[in-house]
Structure 1
């Protein structure tokens, strides 16, 4: 048995993963344990959590944002200014910095592993046991090896990592080959990180929220559309961020002020809509050219920009694309898994790409731990604790509450891998209430305009979503793509349909999560509706809950009706 520990240390969304004989057996991001969103610190707690079930570690694979190959670094820096002498000097300084940083991140990782985790060994021994995996290669590995596509065109698109902002790869016979790249100066992701700040959003954290505003603008002002057309361009596989090139030597604050001069007089929805439209245009041309270049119509995606679910829908709808997969932890939170998979494929044995359909890879807690947490919670007067002898009875109880219009929190089994709550750390509500987007967001202290995602039984998905094909779009199982909703879906589940007529579903098969499936199926039996609203179980500003204590604290803060936790239901009094 050979064990590889993957570590993602990109200074945000850090995490760890464990591969045993090439199979992903566990993965968790540090933020779930530290309770700090997009955690930047070294993932010591994540490593320790995963090592509890590991006897020995044979190899460590590390991915971050430091190791830009020298030629790429020089090329990027030479694009940053028009003065040839300054360009050469800056490029050489960047190369020198790259030479210094490459071993530094490996040594820093070894030092932290030795000091903060249960891994044994001297620092130098750990250094020699760590392989650094290029940032975009780790993204590509995460997408290809978990897609189930034997052959794939792989796109990695993000803000920046190891000197790149996007890349095209071919995946074939278990190996990855790079086809084309775009340097970090031409990043699409950085535009999404900066433009929202003009309107008071935290760009790095709220790009998804800003994207949600796009549907609230029907007509983009022509001048605004032309601005983004000029600043973000594409020619085949070459993407250009002309704003960044023009402001290459500016500080972050100066760039934000420059964006404010360009778009600050327009409404936030108009700007979001214009940027979304241009992103879709640029990336679809990029993808079409990539598929034409590689000759493979199976598309696998990773990188922060591919968290854009409307963009992913446009890619799925391309005539040249046959099948689409988006890695479940598509941002930098997936680097640990990608690094471990890439190391295994290149150093141990070929990896047969297999669909990662079991995303419940995080920590779990036994009934004794859950009961201790309930006792420690000091439930307010009137709250009832009811234990169930069977999952069927508990699922029927939860479904009955949902059918009666109550909100139910779910906490069961292993925590999900990735940013989506997929039934083990979820909040559920009926989809028939069109006002849910207003009052439930307010109850959960979330942004009022953000839609809720539906979970739908796989057998009923055709009736709910246009152009859905389970073989062509495995991404639909993980809330990583939107679909146009059918007329039936819009009438039957208006609370799950966004303003633009789309939804971001989780298509649920019984084999994937039997208890969760039983809740939705029993709700369907009682109401005739095969869908529920599913949103993440977390207090505003915190990551999704991880432990029973997290779950109970958040449940009591929300004031919702019931918490299903293990084999127990904690039920609020009637007046709650």
Structure 2
């Protein structure tokens, strides 16, 4: 049974295809149209998924869309508009026709591609929950989904058992939303909404949240895992493009103009935001485990990309198993929609999912060499690309690493990466200024051999997706300056041979040369662009930045 999951509107449109519960492919539309967090109809992503499955659109048995438009329209009019009337009128006037248009447009575009079968609209948080539970391969688990909003819910608890996944409770609904809280303050701090939230998380350790402690009730924690925002501080629910209220600016100061100086006040506000986010996530996660009686926990939704909050969940609740969907934002919901549609109502036994990351396009050496020749580049084919690249990195070179299938989700996990020596204290500034062209405060993450992780980090478990933050052991903080953040932590990726054999071999070779099997790993893209998808995009980024070496397939290109 082929199930195609697609997200046709809003940010991070994407497609995924599943056959018999086995994940074949998944990719965000942004990788094809080169528009970061693309809102375009995902035709290219759909075509790619169909190509990987070796079928046409007419052979798809079911299309699953992770947004229930009828429910969203009903909730908008029957709940939000009435509850916040008359202030809600302007927002409703904008959102109601938008939802109708996107519902109609998405369906008509799909039909125009030749699909005549059934379309199933899945509740948005069902999609997020399924994207975490089924790929976890856990027998049973509590599932917590936290994002900006679905049809109305923003935070939900689910219980997964075998092939069954059911909602237990909705903890919060729009406009009471941790996702909108973070996005609104991201915009207030002068960064781009739905894109700059990671910057704010990186800025937070430079600040101190305590000067604003008296305003911690901006999010009120309620019994049974629930919470509410004090909406007097916000305006995002009153119209498009709004975020914080005049009251907020009177208390916290005027908003930062994008590109202007980042002051101590801005850092403290970032720290305050991060603190209340962490406390709220802990509040919800604790209830999810308590209410379900489960010791295994799955997380998904955009807020689940907050690695610091995730790290505190792991440390303070100690779930026996923890799985966080690496594509936790809306692109990942297409995978969940496809899986939910496959299992829901069929009483099927769960199918083991081997890979939930390396699901995108890949290119043969022949295709790569053709691209290099077309660009008239001098290159050499290496008999041992891992040894060659390990040597280049150890000699201080910045290496772009393009291998195998691209990653699904926002993290580069060893197939579309830029790699450097983490021992070099100049590398953080060099990468930010000459390669990534981004703010100087932003940290970089390490990859480490899974079997060596506990030597360098306070990490005793697998962390393969860069979604957990750990302390760098004190004796190595000075020796690994390029990946040690200002607070002594790092968002690590552990790498096993089973997960990514070629990348494991590279780390192993670097360890043989230097004694430290750790690399700084950042995504292969420059500021404002999605991660590279094709060999040509890899060449363009290589030539247009301060990257020294391009290792693409078995080929090495040097400037």
TM-score (norm 1): 0.88
Q: Distance in 1 between matches of 2:343 and 2:232?
A: 36
The match for 1:350 among 344, 348, 352 is: 348
Q: Distance in 2 between matches of 1:75 and 1:364?
A: 46
Q: Distance in 1 between matches of 2:105 and 2:532?
A: 29
Alignment of 1:194 with 2:184, yes or no, is: yes
Alignment of 1:287 with 2:274, yes or no, is: no
> Is the partner of 2:147 in helix, strand or coil?
strand
Report the equivalent of 2:30: 31
The match for 2:433 among 425, 442, 447 is: 442
Alignment of 1:167 with 2:156, yes or no, is: yes
Alignment of 1:63 with 2:66, yes or no, is: yes
Deviations 1:202-247 (A, max 9, x none): 1321011011111001x3343x222232344343322101126874
Alignment of 1:433 with 2:424, yes or no, is: yes
Report the equivalent of 1:151: 140
Matched residue count: 540
Contact 2:73–2:99 at 8 Å: present in 1 too? no
Report the equivalent of 1:404: 395
Alignment of 1:8 with 2:4, yes or no, is: no
Q: Distance in 2 between matches of 1:549 and 1:479?
A: 27
Q: Distance in 1 between matches of 2:528 and 2:96?
A: 35
Cα shift at 1:326: 0.6
Q: Distance in 2 between matches of 1:34 and 1:133?
A: 26
Unaligned runs of 5+ in 1: 471-475
Within a 5 Å distance, the mapping from 1:295-374 to structure 2 comes to 295-319=293-317, 321-348=319-346, 350-352=348-350, 354=352, 356-357=354-355, 359-374=357-372
Contact 1:22–1:351 at 8 Å: present in 2 too? no
Alignment of 1:220 with 2:209, yes or no, is: yes
Cα shift at 1:43: 0.4
> Is the partner of 1:205 in helix, strand or coil?
coil
Cα shift at 1:394: 1.5
The CA RMSD measured in Å over matched residues stands at 2.4
Within a 5 Å distance, the mapping from 1:128-143 to structure 2 comes to 129-143=118-132
Cα shift at 1:289: 1.7
Which deviates the most, 488-497 or 429-438?
488-497
Q: Distance in 2 between matches of 1:439 and 1:354?
A: 42
> Is the partner of 1:478 in helix, strand or coil?
coil
Alignment of 1:500 with 2:487, yes or no, is: yes
Q: Distance in 1 between matches of 2:419 and 2:514?
A: 15
Distance change >3 Å, CA 257–CA 404, structure 1 → 2: same
Report the equivalent of 2:274: 276
Distance change >3 Å, CA 77–CA 350, structure 1 → 2: farther
Contact 1:411–1:565 at 8 Å: present in 2 too? yes
TM-score (norm 2): 0.91
Contact 2:456–2:476 at 8 Å: present in 1 too? yes
> Is the partner of 2:540 in helix, strand or coil?
helix
Contact 2:423–2:480 at 8 Å: present in 1 too? yes
Alignment of 1:567 with 2:554, yes or no, is: yes
Within a 5 Å distance, the mapping from 1:369-388 to structure 2 comes to 369-379=367-377, 384-388=378-382
> Is the partner of 2:203 in helix, strand or coil?
helix
The match for 2:544 among 552, 557, 572 is: 557
Q: Distance in 2 between matches of 1:28 and 1:12?
A: 14
